[in-house]
Amino acid sequence: MGIASGIVKALRLLTGRERPKTAAVILAAGLGTRMGAAVKNKKQFLSIEGIPVFIRSLLAFDACEVIDELVLVIGREDLRPVKRALASYTIKKPLRVVYGGAVRQESARRGFEALSKGMRFVAIHDAARCLITPEAIRSVVLAAHASRAASAACRSTDTLKRVNADGFVLETVDREEIFRAQTPQVFACDLYRTATYVAREQGAAVTDDNMLVERLGQTVKMVDVGPENIKITTPEDLYFAKAVLQMQRDRK
């Protein structure tokens, strides 16, 4: 391919004329039990600098040019507070709200089933990872467009030990080969559809969506988006999140 034709193709990808349609499923149906009794609200409804956690995730995907539509998955009991929160913000892309299931795996499947027919890729994202940036989303989505499956991740900086049942070290794991999986996790829709069907038929339980397609033998491209894409899980994470936001502002 010549330089001129390569530039033309890149411009077409940026304008979306050749880019595969991609939807984002934002999972906000969790109970957030690890927040503890001291925190009354579910983690997805907690505010960081005045903006609810799930809204921060929605705004990031809404601002990403390679995302075409949004599906927000919530608990049935949360519809009223979700509507109240959404009324205070402008979401420009098509947004559909659906109810989740008893477990994350079921919530992701229900969100996926709510996608428009024209979508060719789906990005599954935990709303609690509300510090994700449009730039990071774009990098993972484009990697998935090239390889059919990609995941946000962060390289491990710790020395890792494999231990036995009694806690004694069996071996030291090469950390250069270790990534910590994050979200979004992005897949070709036909691949994800098959993976969820097979897992459901076999009664397989997974801890992330990457595992669904890995079970089919599909490799997943890990995209290092850095350590700032933390998941709000405990009260301490709220303080870390505020620090990350300040660091991001300082870099601008």
Residues 82-94 pLDDT 10s: 999 999 999 999 9
pLDDT in tens, 171-204: 999 988 899 999 999 999 999 999 999 999 999 9
- Predicted confidence at residue 14, as pLDDT, reads 52
Task: Evaluate whether residue 1 is within a structural domain.
Answer: no
Domain that holds residue 72: 20-251
Measured at the alpha carbon of residue 124, what is the angle toward residues 162 and 63, in degrees to the nearest 5?
120
Alpha carbons 46 and 41: distance in angstroms, whole number: 6
Distance in angstroms (rounded) separating the CA atoms of residues 252 and 250: 6
Backbone φ and ψ for 120, nearest 5 degrees, come out as -110, -20
pTM of the model: 0.88
Sign of the alpha-carbon dihedral angle for 39, 43, 46, 47 = positive
Residue 11 lies in a domain: no
The answer to whether position 111 is within a domain reads yes
Q: What average pLDDT does the segment 132-145 reach?
A: 97
| Dihedral angle sign, alpha carbons of residues 23, 29, 32, 38 | positive
89 token code pair: 């913000």
Q: Is 14 inside any structural domain?
A: no
Q: How far apart (Å, rounded) are the C-alpha atoms in residues 8 and 155?
A: 34
Residue 9 resides in a domain: no
Q: Is residue 178 part of a domain?
A: yes
Q: What is the CATH number of the domain that holds 89?
A: 3.90.550.10
